[in-house]
Structure 1
Amino acid sequence: MLTYNHAPFLKEAIEGVLMQKTDFDLELIICDDASTDHSEDVIRPYAERYPYQIKYYRHNLNIGFVENQRFAFQKASGKYLAYCEGDDYWTDENKLQFQVCFLENNPDFVMTTARNLLLHQDTGEITKDGKDYIFGNKDFVDYTQESFFSARPTQTFTYLIRREFLDLKWIDVYSNYRDLYYFYHLLQFGNGRAFNKVVGLYRLHEGGVYSSLEIEKKLKTSIDIFKNIKTVNNDSRANVQVSKDLDELITKYFYLKEFPNPLFNKKLYKAMLERFLINKDYYNLFLQTLKIFKYAVKR
């Protein structure tokens, strides 16, 4: 459990772990990256009450998410590793038990995940995770490194992975290390299974509907991640996700009010060119160009 200034949410996160019903031992590793709020006051009583279950580390200086994650992974000693950041929480008391049982009985799988609900912190509204299109009415879906590039039916805080396949060297290979990198490399060793079962709540702090600039940032981050995967591993399959993100990035420029005149938007043309260079899709480029002129006239 990585945390930084999550004091208002830590009680739910910690208790979501402590309530787990298992027939095996578990340890909760909490790594506080020098929080400036009262996180210490929330965590310390739990650590003192459950000294055999909770390993609590607080950094004196903020070392950043990536190094805090490396530190936490290095402290783990279990056969399996699960993750829950300090502002999310598990709601299923059998979350770890059914995931461990599955991996114990299916050695060709390296990870298992599940579904979650979304808790909109500003309004208190709880919504679905938007993954129905992946699961349909199926109890589970299996995924591979191949399908990883087109659909990822999970949030990070729902996973359970075999720790033996987590190679920390990739933290130093990729810039701005993210969970998608180690998912990609884990799936080199086997498949994953996502259960159509809600196990927790993922907290959203976005302050309402994303502005176009926030959407742009998220999409560009995803584009950079998959371009890095392609470059480091010479894996052109990453173009599937890059193209998908570019298409969405381009579409957002057309319809959001922050970009009233696409005719003069250099970022839009740059995204279109990058999309074209990946697939050499002249028809797609024509449609995108036509839409620019239609939208400009309409505005």
Structure 2
Amino acid sequence: MNNPIKRPLVSICCVSFNQSLYIEKCLDGFDLKLCNFDFEVLIFDDASTDDNQQRILRHAQDKKNYRLFLQNENQWNKNKFGFIDYLIPAANGKYIALCEGDDYWTDPYKLQKQVDFLEANPDYVLSFHKVKILQPNGDLVEDFITKVPENYETQETLARLGNYIHTPSVVFRNIIKEFPPEFSLTPIGDYFLYMLLSEHGKLKYLEEEMAVYRYGVGIHSTHTQIKMAKANFKLFTLLLSYFNNPKINQILLGRQLNALDNFEHLVRSEYQEAFVSHHVFFKALQSLKHPSKFWRKIKNKFN
């Protein structure tokens, strides 16, 4: 099960943790691929505490193109990461396709379409496409999270407007053999990855819906606004540390400063709200039936 097949054209890389409710739907999407080339499926599980690993093992049984990287101890806590420390180094494909364990593919010809384009257009490094959004209530809706802009193909647009690429839609050339130190520190790895890849070519958007992104169940869905603002500031700081392109760095610097302003605003707002709501004096004031009369009495004492 863990023996690589002969030089596949595509390596599907899937990172999963505590996603037993969704993982089988994800893996079914891999098996339905109709293409005229070999592909391998690499799955990393970071010591899930549910039965995620058991479901992966059952599904992968007797599938020669599956390679499993199931951990007994959580590697995230050791500053090791499934994608860059396990899957990318092991990927044999000319191309890498991404899909996290809570998302899934819907078009059996997805890989064929994306690989055909990249094979015919060597000046492009990455292909992505439209997705549907699956909401927590079960509704499948149009993408309300991202909007692909004009001139989306360039690194400058990606730097200026942020991430408009959904992870389960991505297929890219397997050309990054060593990641910079900044990448292992970033709290937002997918955007950093796309920025790295955009150094090597253009991005291609296919206007076909070929995957589903689950909204509200990923790691970042549990983050507060302050945590996300802090993560964005750290992301742009690390991007600035890595890139050495004056034009791109000017854009990144502006976004870093905006992220810092947003973080400061959110912290101030939360602190003030917490102070007002938890301070004993203000709690007592809130309990009064006629607070305006109270303030007049206080004012008269000092007149």
Q: Does the alignment reach a TM-score above 0.5?
A: yes
Q: Does 1:202 align with 2:213?
A: yes
SS in 2 for 1:81: strand
SS in 2 for 1:143: coil
Give me the whole-angstrom Cα distance separating, in 1, the residues matched to 2:273 and 2:21: 42
Aligned twin of 1:236: 250
Deviation by residue 1:224-251 (Cα, 9 ceiling, x = unmatched): 1112111232423212433554566578
Aligned twin of 1:297: none
Among 79, 89, 96, the residue aligned to 2:104: 89
C-alpha change, 1:216 and 1:206, in structure 2 (3 Å) is farther
What is the deviation of 1:219? 2.6
SS in 1 for 2:204: strand
What is the deviation of 1:198? 1.6
SS in 1 for 2:148: helix
SS in 2 for 1:196: strand
Contact 1:170 1:182 in 2 (8 A): no
Contact 1:216 1:249 in 2 (8 A): yes
Contact 1:115 1:158 in 2 (8 A): yes
Contact 2:24 2:59 in 1 (8 A): no
Give matches, 1:41-80, under 5 Å: 41-50=54-63, 52-64=64-76, 66-69=80-83, 70-80=85-95
Aligned twin of 1:13: 26
Contact 2:180 2:242 in 1 (8 A): no
C-alpha change, 1:48 and 1:225, in structure 2 (3 Å) is same
C-alpha change, 1:176 and 1:227, in structure 2 (3 Å) is closer
C-alpha change, 1:247 and 1:134, in structure 2 (3 Å) is farther
What is the deviation of 1:217? 1.5
Give me the whole-angstrom Cα distance separating, in 2, the residues matched to 1:48 and 1:125: 32
The one-letter code of the counterpart of 1:114 is: H
Aligned twin of 1:154: 165
Deviation by residue 1:133-190 (Cα, 9 ceiling, x = unmatched): 5358xxxx642111111233211221111002x2333256652361222211211111
Note the residue ranges of structure 1 that are not aligned, 5 or more in a row.
265-299
C-alpha change, 1:85 and 1:131, in structure 2 (3 Å) is closer
Give matches, 1:212-251, under 5 Å: 214-234=224-244, 235-243=249-257, 245=259
Note the residue ranges of structure 2 that are not aligned, 5 or more in a row.
1-13, 277-303
* TM-score w.r.t. length of structure 2: 0.73
Aligned twin of 2:41: 28
RMSD between superposed Cα atoms in Å: 3.0
Among 127, 131, 151, the residue aligned to 1:116: 131
